[in-house]
Amino acid sequence: MTTKSNLARRGFLSGAAVLGAGAVLAGCTSNDPEDASGGQQQAAGAADNSQPGRNVTLGFSAPAADHGWMAAMTINARSQARQFSDVKLNATEGTNDVNQQIAQVESLINAKVDALVILPFDGKALTAVGRQAMDQGIPVINVDRIFDTPLAYRTWIGGDNYRMGVNAANFMAEELKRRNVSNPVIGEVAGIDALPLTQERSQGFRDSLRRHGFRVGPRVAADFTPESGERQTANLLQSASKLDALWNHDDDQGVGVIAAIENSGRDEFFMVGGAGSKNMMTLIKNDSGPLKATVLYSPSMASSAIALGRLLAQNKGIADLAEHEIPAEITTYSAVVTKRNVDQYMDVGFDS
């Protein structure tokens, strides 16, 4: 997972259902003079977009499914494509070899697919092949890990790492105040510190806590795996004799984080997760352990990317927007999942 720091952080797309769905805004009646003059901008009628159009072939390329979140990206893309009778999906085998992924995308270009959905293993390394597709008139939907230039993609869709940190801190601060904890010790189990996504999550977390008069205390970085999560959390707990709250950046490594907490026998603090795995949502729903919330970074963006690819290939826009064209950039929203709303988000949960 990665991010784009200079994107407008606007969470107006919550999933693929909004793309090509029925219009929410009603148009003017034929008796309205504005209707005849075209003076009012209305959201486009949805019928033409949601109904089957010309048959199109979408190419799809992503890294290897060696992580719960990444596996869900490919699963969601394939599942979404099956929902459209006018879409054929040409998906390559997932790989973490940059050169192999470049070769796979080149094969999709040579096959003359109508649009390409690419989640690059390395956005910088795949930029040139993204430009190659665009130069040949194949629209590219760049998912999450962003290319170095907008010349390599028609539309980018991805998550909001900074707001993940902000929303995790906001929930945590409200819960601490509800518990009347005035000077809390707040821990953080980050991901890979060298990655911009981890830096942005941590920055958002710090910035938001500061607004509430709090600060981050003991902090460790893991590697987005259960093993690293357990090891680093054990280190954090050994160094912190007192803890009131803990934020873990990633629900896959959260499996190990929770194991370390259980092994420690500590129960004086609560925990907030990140990404939105189904496993963690179940723990939140059962409310039997330290986990009280998780902040979404949902792989449903892959479903939305397929829906966007279909619309681009068919020269259609998003039905509920007044603009004729698909937006150039779409940032999903980092909703906070709690016991109160967990049932609402179970459908976008993934297996960690």
User: What is the pLDDT, as a whole number, of residue 48?
Assistant: 65
Which amino acid does the sequence have at 163? R
* Residues pairing with 273 in the sheet: 294
User: What is the pLDDT, as a whole number, of residue 218?
Assistant: 98
Q: What domains, with CATH codes, occur in the chain? A: 16-27+42-157+299-326 (3.40.50.2300), 161-296 (3.40.50.2300)
**Residue 22 in tokens:** 């029925």
User: What is the pLDDT, as a whole number, of residue 352?
Assistant: 82
* Residues pairing with 245 in the sheet: 186, 270
Burial 231-254 (b: 16+ CB within 10 A, else e): bbbbebbeebeebbbbbbbbbbbb
User: What pTM, to 2 d.p., does this model score?
Assistant: 0.84
Give the residues of the chain that fall short of pLDDT 50: 2-47
Burial 90-104 (b: 16+ CB within 10 A, else e): bbbebbeeeeebbeb
Closest CA to 242 of 206, 277, 278, 266: 266
Cα gap 175→250, rounded to integer Å: 20
Burial 276-310 (b: 16+ CB within 10 A, else e): bbbbbbebbeeeeebbbbbbbbbbbbbbbbbbbbb
Cβ 327 vs Cβ 11: under 8 Å: no
The runs of H, that is alpha helices, within the chain are 33-37, 47-50, 68-82, 98-110, 123-135, 161-178, 196-211, 226-239, 251-264, 278-286, 300-313, 342-345
- CA diameter of the chain: 73
- Which DSSP symbol is given to 152? G
User: What is the pLDDT, as a whole number, of residue 319?
Assistant: 85
Closest CA to 278 of 261, 256, 259, 255: 255
Residue with tokens 């929303």: 167
Distance separating the N- and C-terminal Cα atoms of the chain: 15
